[in-house]
Amino acid sequence: MSVLRPLDKLPGLNTATILLVGTEDALLQQLADAMLKEDCASELKVHLAKSLPLPSSVTRPRIDLIMFVVNLHSKYSLRNVEESLHHVDATFFLGKVGFLATGAGRESHCSVHRNTVVKLAHTYRSPLLFCDLEHHPFLQKDCQMVSLPRTMEQPPRCSAHPARSPIPQQPERGAI
Amino acid sequence: MLRVGPGLAADFIFCPVVRSFSLQYLCLETMDSCDTPESTPRQRASSRLKDYFIGATPLQKRLESVRRQTSFVPTPPRRKIPQCSQLQEDVDPQKVAFLLHKQWTLYSLTPLYKFSYTNLKEYSKLLGAFIAAEKQKGLAVEVGEDFNIKVIFSALLGMKGTQRDPEAFLVQILSKSQLPSENREGKVLWTGWFCCIFGDSLLETVSEDFTCLPLFLANGAETNTAMIGTWFQKTFDCYFSPLAINAYNLSWMAAMWTACKMDHYMATTEFLWSVPCSPQRLDISYAIHPEDAKALWDSVHKTPGEVTQEEVDLFMDCLYSHFHRHFKIHLSATRLVRVSTSVASAHTDGKIKILCHKYLIGVLAYLTELAIFQIE
C-alpha cells in the first residue's frame, strides 16, 4: 500500500503541486479553478483525489501540499478524510498538510460539529481553514480571499531549493 | 421515496462496528504528553525529564506551557439521559396533557424586559386589543371569521427544571362563543407557551429586570404567531427567531430518546433523510422496531446515566452501515431531516411533537439548551 511521502521524489523547478482530497467533486473542482486563476510566484499544479491511497500507475510530480476538504454537511466526507489520513507519512504533517472545512455557514444543515474538525486538525498539528465552497457567487469570492493567500504563500516555500537540485539552472525566482 | 420497514431489522443485533482514531503511527515525542490524559504520571514525568535534559531553555519551556494552554480543544459534550425529575412529579398529568401529541413550532426568545407574573390579566387585555386592531386593519382578513376572540395568559406550574428557572406561562387565543348566555369557553385557535428548563447558563448572565424564557413553542396559524410575536417584541423588547435543529442535534436526540426506558412503545422509531439530488429530491425513510433500537443502544451504551459523543456516533454508524450493507447507499452523505421515536418526534425545520408525559421535561431541557445556544 503506497504511503505518500514528502521527499521521495525530486522537486520540480519553480513548480508547486497541491493535492486536494475530498469526496465532493464539484466543490474540489471549483476550488481548483479558483486557485489556478490566482497569481502565483511559481507555477501551480493542482491534483484532485477522492481519497487516498493514490493509484500508483500514474506518474505525478512531487506533492508539496495536501489539503483535506471536509464538508460539514456530510459525515461521509469526514470519515473519508479520516481513512485517507492513514495513507500519509508522518513527516508530511510538518507543515505540508492543511484541513479545509466547508459548509459551516449553513448551521441548519450541519451533521458534523465544528469541534470535531477542530479536534482533528489539532490532533494532526495542522492548520484548519473554514470556508464556504457552495455555489454562491459572493461566497466563492470570499473563499478565494480567505483560503488562497494562505495556500499561495506555502508553495513557494516548498518548491525547488537550488542548492539541493543536481541540475544546473538559471537563477531561480520566487523561491523561499 | 424509499421506505425500509421494520421487517428488515430482524438481523439488527450484530456486533457494533468499532471505529477508532488510531494515531499510533504518528509520534512527535515532545507534544504527545499533553494529549493523552490516560498516560501514567510516570510517563509524563519521564517526558518532562527528557525535555529538561535536551536543554530546553526557560523561554522554550514557557512557550510550550503557553502553547498547551492556548491550544484548547473543547471536549465533546456529555449529556444526561432524561430522567423523571422530582419537580415533574408535582405536575398534574391532566394539566399538561394538552401539551402532548401536538405539533409545536420552535422559536428561541431573548430575555423579556420588565415582565411580571402579576400582570397576566392586564397582558391578556392588551394583547386581545392588539389582535382585534390588527385584524380590523385588514392584515388577516378571512371571510366569515369571528372577530370575537379572547386571549388568556396563564401560568404553567411545574414546567421547570430547577427552582431557579422562571415559571412557564401559556398564551391562548380562544374564540368567544356567540351566545353570551351560555358562557362557554370557545374553541382554542392558537396556543403558545414560554418556558425555561435548566437554563442556568443564561440566568447567570442577565440582570434582575429580565425574565429568561428562551424557549417558545407555538401551535396554530402562522399569522397569529407573527402577530403575537410582534406584540411581545414591542412590549418586552425581546427578539424571536425560529429555532432550526440541524442533523447533528437530531442524531443526539435520536440517541437520547432511544435510551429512555419505556414500559411500552407507542410508535416505531423512524428516521427520514433527504438526499440532495436534482431535479427531484429523494427522501429515504428508515423505520426500526423500537425494541430493536433499544437493544442496539444498549449494546453501544457504556456509562450509565450519561450519553457521550462516541456513543451517539457509534449508534448512528451502526444504522448507516446496516443500510449500506443492504442498499449500497451511504446515508452519512445525506442529511438527517426527521427523527421520530416513542418519546418525541422532531423535524429539522424546528417542529416538535412530544408523545410521552414522563420525559417531557427531558425533551424540553435539550430544546432549551439549543435555544440558549442560538441566543448567545
CA gyration radius for chain A? 16
How far is it, in rounded angstroms, from Cα B321 to Cα A15? 42
- Chosen for mutation from A111, A116, A117, A120 (greatest number of chain B CBs closer than 10 Å) is A111
- Report residue B281's pLDDT band, with 50, 70 and 90 as the boundaries: confident
- Report residue A136's pLDDT band, with 50, 70 and 90 as the boundaries: very low
Per-residue confidence (pLDDT) for residue A80, from 0 to 100: 93
For residue B248, give how far its alpha carbon lies from the nearest alpha carbon of chain A (Å). 4
Cβ of A115 and B76 within 8 Å? yes
For residue A28, give how far its alpha carbon lies from the nearest alpha carbon of chain B (Å). 16
- Angle B262-B264-B267 (CA atoms, 0-180°, nearest 5)? 95
Cβ of B26 and A110 within 8 Å? no
Residues of A in contact with B375 (CB under 8 A): none
Per-residue confidence (pLDDT) for residue B138, from 0 to 100: 63
**Nine cell digits for residue A154:** 506555502
CB burial of residue B376 (10 Å; 0-12, 13-18, 19+): exposed
How far is it, in rounded angstroms, from Cα B25 to Cα B180? 82
pLDDT over 70 (residue B194): yes
pLDDT over 70 (residue B299): yes
Per-residue pLDDT, averaged over B73-95, amounts to 56
Element (H, E) at B339: strand B335-340
Per-residue confidence (pLDDT) for residue A95, from 0 to 100: 86
pLDDT over 50 (residue B124): yes
Element (H, E) at B35: helix B29-35
**Nine cell digits for residue B45:** 514525568
Per-residue confidence (pLDDT) for residue B254, from 0 to 100: 92
Per-residue pLDDT, averaged over B279-301, amounts to 90
How far is it, in rounded angstroms, from Cα A64 to Cα B152? 69
Per-residue pLDDT, averaged over A92-101, amounts to 89
Percent of chain A clearing pLDDT 90 (strictly above): 23
For residue B249, give how far its alpha carbon lies from the nearest alpha carbon of chain A (Å). 8
Cβ of B333 and A122 within 8 Å? no
Per-residue confidence (pLDDT) for residue A103, from 0 to 100: 86
Contacts of B359 (CB under 8 A, 6+ apart): B82, B84, B257, B260, B343, B344
Contacts of B236 (CB under 8 A, 6+ apart): B112, B113, B114, B115
Per-residue confidence (pLDDT) for residue B200, from 0 to 100: 82
For residue A109, give how far its alpha carbon lies from the nearest alpha carbon of chain B (Å). 5
ipTM of this complex > 0.85?
Answer: no
Cβ of B348 and A77 within 8 Å? no
Cβ of B333 and A75 within 8 Å? yes
pLDDT over 70 (residue A168): no
Q: Tell me, yes or no, if the pTM score tops 0.90.
A: no
Per-residue confidence (pLDDT) for residue B317, from 0 to 100: 93
Return the top range by mean pLDDT from B48-57, B131-140, B200-209. Answer: B200-209
Residues of A in contact with B21 (CB under 8 A): 82, 123
How far is it, in rounded angstroms, from Cα A143 to Cα B311? 34
- Chosen for mutation from B241, B246, B334 (greatest number of chain A CBs closer than 10 Å) is B246
Average pLDDT, rounded, for chain B: 77
Q: B137 vs A176, which has greater pLDDT?
A: B137
Following DSSP, what letter does each residue of A31-62 receive, concatenated?
Answer: HHHHHHHS--SSEEEEEEESSSSPPTTS----
What is the tens place of the pLDDT at every residue in B32-75? 333 433 434 444 444 454 444 445 566 665 555 555 544 454 55
Average pLDDT, rounded, for chain A: 75
pLDDT over 60 (residue A67): yes
Percent of chain B clearing pLDDT 70 (strictly above): 70
How far is it, in rounded angstroms, from Cα B57 to Cα B255? 50
Per-residue pLDDT, averaged over B288-300, amounts to 91
- Chain length of chain A: 176
pLDDT over 90 (residue B103): yes
For residue A30, give how far its alpha carbon lies from the nearest alpha carbon of chain B (Å). 18
Q: B376 vs A163, which has greater pLDDT?
A: B376
Residues of B in contact with A108 (CB under 8 A): 244-246, 348
pLDDT over 70 (residue B198): yes
Q: Do residues A4 and A54 make contact, with C-beta atoms less than 8 angstroms apart?
A: yes
Per-residue confidence (pLDDT) for residue A15, from 0 to 100: 84
Per-residue confidence (pLDDT) for residue B319, from 0 to 100: 93
Among positive and negative, which fits the CA dihedral B33, B39, B44, B47? negative
β-pairing, B2-4 with A97-102? Answer: unpaired
For residue B258, the Cα-to-chain-centroid distance in whole angstroms is 14
Task: Tell the residue number behind the cell numbers 451502526, with chain if given.
Answer: B318
Per-residue pLDDT, averaged over A5-12, amounts to 79
For residue A90, give how far its alpha carbon lies from the nearest alpha carbon of chain B (Å). 6
Element (H, E) at B104: strand B103-109
Per-residue pLDDT, averaged over B102-119, amounts to 91
Per-residue pLDDT, averaged over B24-30, amounts to 33
Query: Is B67 an interface residue toward A (CB < 8 Å)?
Result: no
Residue B160, beta-bridge partner list: B196
How far is it, in rounded angstroms, from Cα B327 to Cα B270? 17
Query: Is B18 an interface residue toward A (CB < 8 Å)?
Result: no
DSSP one-letter code for B12: -
pLDDT over 70 (residue B25): no
How far is it, in rounded angstroms, from Cα A113 to Cα A126? 18
CB burial of residue B101 (10 Å; 0-12, 13-18, 19+): exposed
Q: DSSP E strands: which ranges in chain A? A: 15-21, 43-49, 65-71, 97-102, 128-131
Query: Is A110 an interface residue toward B (CB < 8 Å)?
Result: yes
Query: Is A93 an interface residue toward B (CB < 8 Å)?
Result: yes
Q: A67 vs A39, which has greater pLDDT?
A: A67
